[in-house]
Amino acid sequence: MLHRRVLLTALPAATLSARSVRAQTSRTGSYAAFLGGVRREAVSQGLSSRIVDRALALTRTPNAHVLQLDRHQPEFTLTWAQYRSRVIGSTRVSQGQAAFSSRAQQLNAVGQKYGVDPRVIVGIWGLESGFGRKIGTFSVVDSLATLAYDGRRSSFFRSELLKSLHILNDGDIPPEGMLGSYAGAMGQPQFMPSAYLHYAVDGDGDGKRNIWTDEADVFASVANYLAQCGWQRGVPWGQPVQITGDIPQALTGRAHRQTLEAWMRQGVRRADGRPFTRPDAEGALLRPDGPGTEAFMVYRNFDVIRRYNPSDFYALGVGLLGYAVA
């Protein structure tokens, strides 16, 4: 069977003390000196010294818990069936159905404006933050500063830290309200600061791009992300299928695209057993757990979902959750 490596980033590495984590930090020099360098660079880029100082005051020492989570992420292997049961369980589906039904008009309007399937917006919203319930409790500035100082990926996280300061300088969110994951993914859609600057939009015209508490901005920003990444209006991301022929696993996967007519000649049909309605369209066959297990035909919009998170499991989870809740 085919498996996916899964990181349990939510589980703390309780065996490490704060002192031991700090001692392992590879960066030389004091944290205060590091922050001073960040401050000088930010101010040289035209940012308000008052905003920068207020933001950097949120991080006095490297955050030991952030380093624990970053360095000691427990791993184990999941099959697609196991992953699916975790991300599209009955509780999440029922929560998603309630969330979609109470916001259907708003979501459909956003989908129409950006040419994006509103069900996929909800699928991403559900997987990223449990429909807005779990945005993360870490100070983004503190997390990014800690990881930038750590030294292993300092260039990436320093760049993201400076981008977070640009966001704060724009006034979309106060420094204390910029919350997210330990790795700096922010708000309900879990945008990194660089993604925020590219894709976040003001969905309700209040002059702010608030992806933390303003659902209009959340939905519009996710829709804009997908649209800017090439979402094709009116085209599905994919669909479950049944296979009656003997198709080698080597011929499955996103790299092996054929017309649906060609797939039908090999024994692939819609889940209800009927032929595809557009035999000239091209698709790829995914069978994540191998022969005899659940299979899907995916189209170009599936690749767009993967731009959000480059995982077949994730993209399938988003798409199927969207189908389940709306």
Cα distances (Å, whole numbers) of residue 218 to 43, 95, 238, 276: 29, 18, 24, 34
Cα distances (Å, whole numbers) of residue 67 to 15, 24, 59, 201: 13, 9, 14, 31
Q: Is 229 left (phi over 0), alpha (psi -120 to 50) or beta?
A: alpha
Beta-strand pair 295-298/282-286: antiparallel
For 241, phi and psi rounded to 5 degrees? -135, 165
Beta bridge partners of residue 285, listed in sequence order: 297
Cα distances (Å, whole numbers) of residue 25 to 142, 149, 154, 275, 299: 15, 8, 11, 58, 44
Of the candidates 41, 75, 128, 261, the residue annotated as catalytic is 128
Beta bridge partners of residue 243, listed in sequence order: 268
Whether residue 160 lies in the annotated active site: no
Biggest CA–CA distance in the chain, Å, is: 67
> Annotated catalytic sites, by residue?
128
